[in-house]
Structure 1
Amino acid sequence: MIQGNNPAQGAVVPSAALAQFQRAPRNTLRGLFWAGLSVMIFAGWFVVTRFSVTRELRLWDVTALRFGIGAIILLPVLLRSKRRISAREWLEGLLYACLWGLPFVLAVALGLQLTSAGRAAAVTPTLMPVFAGTFAWIFLKEKQGRARWCGYLAIVIGLVCMVAGGVSAHGGINPLGLIALMTAAAMWAVYTLLFRRSKLTPVQAAALICFWSAVLFLPIYILAGLSRLALASPSEIGLQAIYQGVLMSGVAIVSFNRAVALLGPSAATAIIALIPVVALLAAIPVLAELPSLGEWVALAAVVGGVLLAARPSAKQ
């Protein structure tokens, strides 16, 4: 009881609480920065990938450049890390590569081939936070709150408007392509929930994803003679090498992992749903494509849903 009345000891708790309170907005701002960087890179990925696969390169070449160059650049992280990566963490990295590495890219690639770049950019990033929130609620017993559920509903409504607008303008959508894009979204969501509890750093996770994806894909790519790199111009190969190998395999994965660590998976993945919005706005000056009234409505619905779903929960 004497210790409880000691003012020197009593001041420790408020000061610690104050420091934690002051760090919270700072971490939120840092998390928003990393999430925003991820959104910009991911949104451009659909445009850059579509640019090459409609010319000389194929999705196999883009995949090889993405994981091959990424593995080479990030290999020192695996070999010279301050903390040695355990055998269990190497297997954990293999699981991450199966969720957000080669299978994810191939699923999105199938969706790109059977639908369009616009629809792929709309479906996969938009549904990913919805899957992440739902899986966290079902399997991890995390309460999302009424605001987040309303946000997820608004995101889904926005997606439906986007797809419906595309169908009316460009015709029907391929069901298999839509399933592939939804599967990719679900795999991405599971990855975010698992990585939240991982002891790996964001850079280590990115390195393991690139390493295992390269090990699984490059032998098939080389032995099956899938390469068309000799047919592409050096400038096109350079563009894809930088964007796929450096930005997508390195910067984007690390920045997204940092956003998950700082904001939590639900908020970080909700912000990722802005990818189709950024792509839609970028198409105005770059491609001179003015969105229709239905697409503007969808854009507003997605933005509103993101603002609701990105709100930190009581436990985050």
Structure 2
Amino acid sequence: MPAESPDRPPDGAPDASDGARSSRKRLIGFLWAVLTVSIFAGWFVVTRFSVTRSLNVWDLTALRYGIGAILLAPVLLRDLPPKAWRNGFIFSVLWGAPFAAMVALGVQMTSAGRAASVTPTLMPVFAGLLGWLLLRQPPGRARLAGYAAIAAGLCGLVVSASSGGVAPSLLGLGFLALAAAMWAGYTLLLRGSGLNPMQSAALICFWSGLIFVPLYVVLGIGHLGQAPTAEIAVQGVYQGVLMSIVALISFNRAVTLLGASAAAAMIALVPVIASLLAIIVLGEIPTAAEGISIAFIVAGVLLATRPTPASGRG
């Protein structure tokens, strides 16, 4: 029997290069997720800035998907199969204009800060539960503990926000929770759709723009004519470029590289980054209770993003 080459691992032994590639893949996925989280966190601050001044949430939604649809139109000129268009329509329902409307209603009935704490935080919990129920992918004990910590942090943020004497709107919180469930459904469907991140982003913007923008014009619900040009330009770049294109693509890449549950859990860091931005931009310093709640969320994210062993046990 010929001797095994010393440079070749025995049959069944893990290849070091495979481990290195896996680690590099997770690192790249993590960086994509960080970019997504940064854009999402800034979105709540930028949106709050305008909706309390000249523009309303419908203006921002029209800018987001109208500009995104125009800029990404060349992607759709390629030969896409009918299934891609159907998947794109479903994605636009889950993470397009209806999703933005749910968040907008939640922001209107609660606050931008509460929306940043509720929707991104609940999304990984819904993603894990939906994956468990529909795809028979049990999250394992570590991820379940992470989801519990995220939920505990969310409850702490809501309770601490209520301590000022104004109770949060239950209906508004319901809209935000529904948006989180829609977002989670999108993350689970994306990986098996056969669409790359650019195609998914283009189709979401196309269907959302096609349906929402005509309604926006016909119903006359916009305030663009009353807003300063500079503010419209800033919102056009943030909503139409960063949110509609960069954030969609970066999040899709994170889902592809990290998996739906891990990428969704990373999004739970949005309220953490949003709190830091609020300190820097708005001078809003979180209370001790809010700080403890955020610490629970961070701990939950660390647990929920742990690699899942091949056995499926977390």
- Give yes or no for the alignment of 1:314 onto 2:302: no
- Give yes or no for the alignment of 1:296 onto 2:291: yes
Q: In structure 2, what is the equivalent of residue 153 of structure 1?
A: 148
Q: In structure 2, what is the equivalent of residue 268 of structure 1?
A: 263
- Give yes or no for the alignment of 1:20 onto 2:18: yes
- Partner of residue 63 from structure 2, selected from 62, 65, 75: 65
Decide whether the 8 Å contact of 2:123 with 2:268 is kept in 1: yes
- Give yes or no for the alignment of 1:119 onto 2:114: yes
Q: In structure 1, what is the equivalent of residue 40 of structure 2?
A: 42
- Partner of residue 287 from structure 1, selected from 272, 282, 285: 282
Q: 1:116 to 1:44 in 2, by over 3 A?
A: same
Q: How does 1:236-247 map onto structure 2 within 5 Å?
A: 236-247=231-242
Report which stretch shifted further, 123-132 or 14-23. 14-23
Secondary structure at the counterpart of residue 200 of structure 1: coil
Shift of 1:228: 1.4
- Partner of residue 72 from structure 2, selected from 63, 68, 74: 74
Shift of 1:7: 4.3
Secondary structure at the counterpart of residue 123 of structure 1: helix
Q: In structure 1, what is the equivalent of residue 177 of structure 2?
A: 182
Shift of 1:209: 0.2
Q: How does 1:252-267 map onto structure 2 within 5 Å?
A: 252-267=247-262
> Given residue 201 of structure 1, which amino acid in structure 2 is its aligned partner?
N
- Partner of residue 139 from structure 1, selected from 134, 138, 163: 134
> For residues 230 and 177 of structure 1, what CA distance do their matches in structure 2 show?
29
Shift of 1:171: 1.1
> For residues 141 and 218 of structure 1, what CA distance do their matches in structure 2 show?
39
Decide whether the 8 Å contact of 2:109 with 2:172 is kept in 1: yes
Q: In structure 1, what is the equivalent of residue 227 of structure 2?
A: 232
Shift of 1:106: 0.1
Kindly provide the CA deviation profile for residues 120-160 of structure 1, in whole angstroms up to 9, marking residues without a partner as x. Answer: 00000000000000111111111211110000000000000
Kindly provide the CA deviation profile for residues 156-199 of structure 1, in whole angstroms up to 9, marking residues without a partner as x. Answer: 00000000000002510111101000000000000000002121
Q: In structure 1, what is the equivalent of residue 209 of structure 2?
A: 214
- Identity over aligned pairs, percent: 54
Shift of 1:15: 9.9
Q: In structure 1, what is the equivalent of residue 105 of structure 2?
A: 110
Secondary structure at the counterpart of residue 80 of structure 2: coil
Decide whether the 8 Å contact of 2:62 with 2:213 is kept in 1: yes
Shift of 1:17: 3.3
Decide whether the 8 Å contact of 2:45 with 2:278 is kept in 1: no
- List gaps (5 residues or longer) in structure 2: none
> Given residue 294 of structure 1, which amino acid in structure 2 is its aligned partner?
A
Kindly provide the CA deviation profile for residues 212-263 of structure 1, in whole angstroms up to 9, marking residues without a partner as x. Answer: 0000111111112222111100110001000000000000000000000000
Shift of 1:16: 8.8
Report which stretch shifted further, 117-126 or 276-285. 276-285
Kindly provide the CA deviation profile for residues 1-20 of structure 1, in whole angstroms up to 9, marking residues without a partner as x. Answer: x7xx5847x94868993332
Report which stretch shifted further, 204-213 or 12-21. 12-21
> For residues 295 and 147 of structure 2, what CA distance do their matches in structure 1 show?
14
Kindly provide the CA deviation profile for residues 18-60 of structure 1, in whole angstroms up to 9, marking residues without a partner as x. Answer: 3322210100110010000000000111111111111111111
Count of residues in correspondence between the two structures: 310
CA RMSD after TM alignment: 1.8
Secondary structure at the counterpart of residue 72 of structure 2: helix
> Given residue 71 of structure 2, which amino acid in structure 1 is its aligned partner?
I
Structure 1 consecutive aligned stretches of length 4 or more whose deviation exceeds 6 Å: 12-16
> Given residue 150 of structure 2, which amino acid in structure 1 is its aligned partner?
I
**TM-score normalised by structure 1 residue count:** 0.94
> For residues 300 and 220 of structure 2, what CA distance do their matches in structure 1 show?
45
> For residues 309 and 226 of structure 2, what CA distance do their matches in structure 1 show?
54
Shift of 1:291: 1.0
- Partner of residue 96 from structure 2, selected from 73, 97, 101: 101
> For residues 198 and 95 of structure 1, what CA distance do their matches in structure 2 show?
11
Structure with higher helix content = 1
